[in-house]
Structures are given as structure tokens and as C-alpha cells.
Amino acid sequence: MTSSLVTGGQGFIGGHLVRALLERGDEVTVLDLRGAPGRALDVHGLTEEVRLVEGDVADPAAVHRAVREAGSSSGPDSIFHLAAQTLVGPAAEDPVATFRANVEGTWTILEAARETGVGAVVVASSDKAYGPSESLPYRESDELRPAAPYEASKAAADVISRSYWPAFGVPVGVTRLANVYGGGDMNGSRLVPETVNACLEGRSPQIRSDGSPQRDYLHVSDAAAAYLAIEGAVLEGSGRGEALNAGTGEPHSVREVIELITAEVARTGVEPVEAEYLGEGVPEGEIDRQFVDASRLTELTGWRPRVDLADGISEAVGWYRSHHRG
Ligand SMILES: NC(=O)c1ccc[n+]([C@@H]2O[C@H](COP(=O)([O-])OP(=O)(O)OC[C@H]3O[C@@H](n4cnc5c(N)ncnc54)[C@H](O)[C@@H]3O)[C@@H](O)[C@H]2O)c1
């Protein structure tokens, strides 16, 4: 049986990835913080199906414990490293804590992989690692020009991870995913969960921008599939030491997303509410327009996004509605 270790498996994307790994028959170990806020394993009803190791990914002792649990002396077959401090605001307030989790956490995982010998390590970078750019869509050959702490933490983790293939022969693939959304995101401050929950409660969604920022919205099921595709490529010997974009290639404004959500919520019979746009332009420290070219990933693995934005928003609204605690 294939053994996989997922760091950050209590988080939004991690929870969906764990489910996909269990569905394909893997034995799954999760490393995440004690009291992790997302509790994705509980939310998805998977707590009994995985081994859970509680600890900090930047703590070598916790990582060694997780690696041992996952695969005895030889380590797991695959490691998916998603654990990170993922919120842009807290990263700007406390960059050092974010660098510790996101950068030190990454080299701690890579060192464990180097010592034990693992079939594939897939590391979560982000399209945020590119930083603000006039030249869009982002391509993997573009320079990484982070301009804020979260972006810098992802860029640093990305660069360090890729170096472990030529330097030490650790088979690493790096993911640069676009904005991921869908049911099961317990980070209440993110656009989609915050807007859906506000609409369900009859509150006006408070939007920090004027609605103009544009993002490439990737449904979480397509995100989990991208992780598996990159793992497959790395196991087969391609994509090692590379970073690969995953997204739809289509930018959508915040306003478009809000309008889709409010229309979808209204269809469920809930009294419609109007969003309030509080900002002018883009909130400080955020990028105004982002979308990615994922053609390299498609060429290498055949991966393509399957869920369009309208269907994805409809899935997300259905999910938050059925899990809403009021
Ligand atoms: N959500 C997105 O739109 C998006 C887009 C591109 C890339 N990513 C990346 O994908 C990964 C997963 O993102 P997500 O949206 O699921 O985030 P999330 O915040 O929902 O999950 C992150 C998980 O990491 C855990 N974690 C944080 N610090 C840790 C530490 N020091 N030790 C152990 N665990 C720790 C958290 O408890 C949480 O369960 C992250 O690396 C993120 O940067 C996310």
C-alpha cells in the first residue's frame, strides 16, 4: 500500500487532498499543529481514517515523528508539504513567524526527505510567489519578484525546494496554484467563505476592495488533482526540480465572484443582500491582477481544470449552506 504524508492536512486544500489520497487507497499520515483551526479531518469525517501527528513542521523532532509514523525506516512513498501560515494580513503583521512556518518548515521537511529517501516530495508554493507583474499570465520562466512577506515566504520555499533536486537528488516538484476556493474552507476571512456565510446570515458582505482585483479561481477539487498529477510526474522522473503553475488561465474580478455568490444564495430562497465595497482599488499589500498559464502542467501530465467558476460557486454555496452553524 502506498504511504503518504500530508503536512497541513487539517487545512482547506490539505483536507481535500487527504480525501483524494484515501480514495485512491493510500495509507495517510497528517502532520499539523495541535488545535489546528481548520479541523478539516473532522469536517470531512476522516479523523479515524488517518494517522494524525500533532506538531510544528519547523520542529525537526515533530517532522521525524511524522515521517517514522508514515513509513517506518524508509519514510513514506510521497510527502505533500502544504503546512503554512497562509494569511496575507498576519504575514504582514508578523513576518518572522510566517517565515519560520513557511520557510524553515519547508527546509525541515526537505531535510527529512533527504535523510530517509522518499519517492516524491510535492511542495506548495503559490502564484503569490511571482509578486505583482504587468506581464500576465504568469509563466514558470518568469522571475519571482515578491513584494510582501507572504509572497516572499512562498518564493523562498519555492527556490529552496527546487534546489534539493540538483543538489541532493531529492525528487521534488513544486506547485504554484492560483486562488483556490470551494466548500470546506474554514478560513472565515477569505473571500468565498466570508461572502457566502454573510449572505446566509443576511449580513452585507464587507469587501475590502472596490471589487476590481482580478484572480484566477481554481476549484479545490482541481487543486487536489493538480497535486496528484505533479506527484505522478515526479515519481515517473519528470518535473523534478521544477515549479508548475495550476489555474484556469482566466481572470475574474472580485465583483464577478460576489455577484455569482449572491445570485446563487438567492436561488436557495435566502433573502438577497447587497455587498458593500469598502475600499478604493486594491487593499494595501495585495496584488491587483493575477492569473497563470498552466500549459506546462497540462503538457507534462494531462491535468486540466474541470470545474468552471459558476459550477464551483454553486458547489461552494451548497457546502457552506449544509455546514452552516448560524
Ligand atoms: N488557498 C489558496 O488559495 C492557496 C493558493 C496557492 C497556494 N496555497 C498554498 O497551499 C497550502 C495550503 O493552503 P490552504 O488554503 O489549505 O491553507 P490553510 O490555512 O487552510 O491550511 C494550512 C494548514 O497548515 C497548518 N500549519 C500552519 N503552520 C503550521 C506549522 N508551523 N506546523 C504544522 N502545521 C502548520 C495549519 O494549521 C493549517 O491546517 C499552503 O502552503 C498555501 O500557501 C494556497
Q: pLDDT, tens digit, for every residue of 134-148?
A: 999 999 999 999 999
Q: What is the pLDDT of residue 116?
A: 93
Mean pLDDT of the chain: 95
Percent of the chain with pLDDT over 70: 99
Question: What are the pLDDT digits (tens) for 268-287?
Answer: 888 889 999 998 888 887 88
Please indicate whether residue 106, judged by its CB atom, sits closer than 6 Å to ligand 1: no
What separation in Å is there between the alpha carbon of 204 and the centre of ligand 1?
A: 28
Q: Which of 138, 150, 164, 217 is catalytic?
A: 150
Structural contact between residues 205 and 276, judged by C-beta atoms closer than 8 angstroms: yes
Q: Whose CA is nearest to atom 35 of ligand 1?
A: 83
Task: Evaluate if residue 22 carries a pLDDT over 90.
Answer: yes
Q: What is the pLDDT of residue 73?
A: 65
Please indicate whether residue 88, judged by its CB atom, sits closer than 6 Å to ligand 1: no
Query: Higher confidence at residue 24 or residue 73?
Result: 24
Q: Whose CA is nearest to atom 9 of ligand 1?
A: 124
Structural contact between residues 214 and 288, judged by C-beta atoms closer than 8 angstroms: yes
Handedness of CA 272, 278, 279, 280 (dihedral sign): positive
Structural contact between residues 234 and 287, judged by C-beta atoms closer than 8 angstroms: no
- Choosing from 13, 128, 217, 286 the residue with most ligand 1 atoms within 8 A of its CB, the one to mutate for a pocket test is 13
Q: What is the pLDDT of residue 282?
A: 84
Q: Which of 38-42, 74-78, 84-88, 221-225 has the lowest mean pLDDT?
A: 74-78
If you average pLDDT over residues 53-65, what whole number do you get? 98
CA distance 201 to 91: 29
What separation in Å is there between the alpha carbon of 180 and the centre of ligand 1?
A: 11
Closest CA to 40 of 55, 26, 30: 30
Please indicate whether residue 86, judged by its CB atom, sits closer than 6 Å to ligand 1: yes
Please give the single-letter amino acid code of residue 21. Answer: L
Please indicate whether residue 52, judged by its CB atom, sits closer than 6 Å to ligand 1: no
**What order do you get walking across the sheet with 251-253 strand by strand?**
179-181, 214-219, 251-253
Task: Evaluate if residue 41 carries a pLDDT over 90.
Answer: yes
Our answer to whether residue 150 is catalytic in this structure is yes
Q: Domain residue spans in the chain?
A: 3-178+220-246, 181-215+250-290+306-322
Q: pTM of the predicted model, to two decimals? A: 0.97
Q: What is the pLDDT of residue 58?
A: 98
User: Which ligand 1 atom is the nearest neighbour of the CA of 58?
Assistant: 31
What separation in Å is there between the alpha carbon of 114 and the centre of ligand 1?
A: 23
Q: What is the pLDDT of residue 1?
A: 87
- pLDDT tier for residue 120 given thresholds of 50, 70 and 90: very high
- pLDDT tier for residue 38 given thresholds of 50, 70 and 90: confident
* CATH class (in words) of the domain with range 3-178+220-246: alpha beta
Q: Where are the extended beta strands (E) located within the chain?
A: 3-7, 27-32, 51-54, 78-81, 120-124, 172-177, 179-181, 206-207, 214-219, 242-246, 251-253, 276-277
Task: Evaluate if residue 72 carries a pLDDT over 70.
Answer: no
- pLDDT tier for residue 325 given thresholds of 50, 70 and 90: low
Please indicate whether residue 182, judged by its CB atom, sits closer than 6 Å to ligand 1: no
CA distance 94 to 78: 31
Q: Which fold has domain 181-215+250-290+306-322?
A: UDP-galactose 4-epimerase; domain 1 (3.90.25)
- Choosing from 85, 86, 108, 297 the residue with most ligand 1 atoms within 8 A of its CB, the one to mutate for a pocket test is 86
Please indicate whether residue 3, judged by its CB atom, sits closer than 6 Å to ligand 1: no
CA separation, residue 325 to residues 197, 200, 268, 319, 320 (Å)? 9, 10, 17, 12, 9
Q: What is the pLDDT of residue 74?
A: 75
